[in-house]
Chains A and B, each alone.
Chain A
Amino acid sequence: MLKTKAFSLLFVVVLLFTTLCASAQGINTDTISTSHSLSLADSSQVMQKVGLSEENLGDFKQGILEKVTELTNHIAVIADKKKDLVLRNEAVTAAKKLFLSDEKIVEISSLNTTVTKKIPVRQYFSRLLNLPYYKVRITFYEIAHVSQLEKAPDGKLYGTAYIFQKFEGYDNENNLVYTDRTIKKVEVVVDQLTKSIGDQTVYIPIIRLGNINVDETKI
């Protein structure tokens, strides 16, 4: 009897502990907390006297991951109908600024057809803002994946960041009416600004996002 009580007590303690841990993490998949943006000052310290070279490719990855995380945060806010429309519009503006141009293309492929839709980034975010669902939930899986960066003949570095996303749309009775899982492959371009400060040349990396391929997947 005593043993039973002891086990029950232990179980309750463990259950409470794990639940508290989950709460403490504060992770909500449809509104992932905003990442820390890499400020230009931080970047320039990293890049001082170095420039865009093979040796320091790793230094850019952190900046790219932060850009991509920023993008996913904006997507979560834009799609979240529970949030204030002003805030969601601000997220659209902020998201567009992450790109080389808001004319960059988002190519969307579906499992059911070989025909893809191509829309400019600005239109993509506008659509996200006006999705016909009462509530949406977006889950991002391991957004921290960036391919190898490679230098191109224009002197810029090119790479691809991967966003694995699950989308769920609910009606006003909280029924799941649409779901898809996509892999967003985001082109990343790292350019640099060269500034002379006294007798020193400082290279400031500029990380921008380019075209996006959105692949619907069975996963």
Chain B
Amino acid sequence: MRFIILFILLLGGALNLPLLSQGVNPVEESAFLHRVKSITDFQQAFNYLSTLRHVEVDDSDYLQTEFIVNLVDQEKFGPEENLKSSTLYLETFCDQIIQDYEKRVSPLNHQKYLVEAGFRVKWKGKEDLMQILFSKQVDNFGQSFWVIEGVSADFLDLLPHDTTQFIPPNSPDINFLSFIEKLTVPENSIAFANPDFQYDRLSVFFYAIQQKDLILENALSIVFHCFNVEGWIYQVSEKNKLSDNSGWLINKIEPERSFNQYLPQYSIPLNPLYR
């Protein structure tokens, strides 16, 4: 009996020899193989078209609930066995997805997500951070590209409206001298706009780029905000871990809200006069 056990143990070791002889750690290998390597992988798996190992899903496997667990960051939501019950949101969210699969609705596609990238930037020579929100466009010829939907950074905001400032009624008579004088304090400028005026950060962003006041250095984070599951918003981002649960994973689930409530930093700022 002892020899049988010894034999089995040694056989197991021997079978690993080719792998070890290459200097490949089986744990690392497994982590790489099971990793959700790209957002395409995530999308394919979420839409239940293929598994994370790129095996086409058979209809007989349909509605296997484990597939969604593999797409969720388990560190964030708890161990696999408790995953569905660990948070109320996740449990309900999973149920919703399963129902959607039954009806074959709510696939994840480009119309149902936005991408938010956090950038390290130089604003007038100084280090700063900003976020840019992108959406994917696909034209009638099937050609795709990303466009900017909005930007968010404190330095792109105009200074608050000083309601004590105004352009005097007689200004045209005296060549707008008072107006010019008041503009020597640049912070005052917005006060002279029509009260209906709404500035947008995106225009400021493009102008700053053109003036070379703003230089993008590198992207620090990429987050997909997904809206394809009715009643829910979830976020997908890349997480590097030494485990089979790694790569592009769901790391946040929230009940659906309006865009302005969910991503208020990209909404058009209200005219400070009316705040």
A residues near B (Cβ < 8 Å) are 3-4, 7-8, 10-11, 14-15, 18-19, 21-22, 25, 27-30, 54, 107, 109, 114-116, 118, 137, 139, 141-142, 145, 147-148, 150-153, 155, 160, 162, 164, 166, 168, 181, 183, 215, 217-219
A28 to B23: give the CA distance in the assembly, Å.
9
Contact status of A114 and B14, CB under 8 A, knowing A7-B7, A107-B218, A218-B240: no
Give every chain B residue within 8 A of A114 (Cβ-Cβ). Answer: 120, 220
Q: A11-B7, A15-B10 given. 7 additional CB < 8 A pairs?
A: A3-B3, A4-B3, A7-B3, A11-B10, A29-B24, A118-B218, A219-B241
B22 with A219: CB separation less than 8 A: no
Give every chain A residue within 8 A of B143 (Cβ-Cβ). Answer: 151-153, 155
Residue of B whose beta carbon sits closest to that of A111 = B240
Residue of B whose beta carbon sits closest to that of A154 = B143
B23 with A218: CB separation less than 8 A: no
What 5 A-B pairs are tightest by C-beta distance, nearest first?
A22-B18, A217-B240, A141-B32, A148-B40, A147-B38
Give every chain A residue within 8 A of B15 (Cβ-Cβ). Answer: 18
Tally of B interface residues using CB under 8 Å = 38
A219 to B39: give the CA distance in the assembly, Å.
18
B38 with A215: CB separation less than 8 A: no
Give every chain B residue within 8 A of A148 (Cβ-Cβ). Answer: 40
Give every chain A residue within 8 A of B40 (Cβ-Cβ). Answer: 147-148
Q: Does B31 contact A (CB under 8 A)?
A: yes
Give every chain A residue within 8 A of B99 (Cβ-Cβ). Answer: none
Give every chain A residue within 8 A of B14 (Cβ-Cβ). Answer: 14-15, 18-19
A-B contacts, 25 of them at CB < 8 A, read A4-B3, A8-B3, A11-B7, A15-B10, A15-B11, A25-B18, A29-B22, A29-B24, A30-B23, A107-B218, A114-B120, A139-B23, A139-B24, A141-B29, A141-B33, A147-B39, A152-B145, A153-B139, A153-B145, A160-B38, A168-B23, A218-B240, A218-B241, A219-B28, A219-B246
Give every chain B residue within 8 A of A11 (Cβ-Cβ). Answer: 7, 10-11
Give every chain B residue within 8 A of A10 (Cβ-Cβ). Answer: 7
A155 to B31: give the CA distance in the assembly, Å.
36
A141 to B32: give the CA distance in the assembly, Å.
7
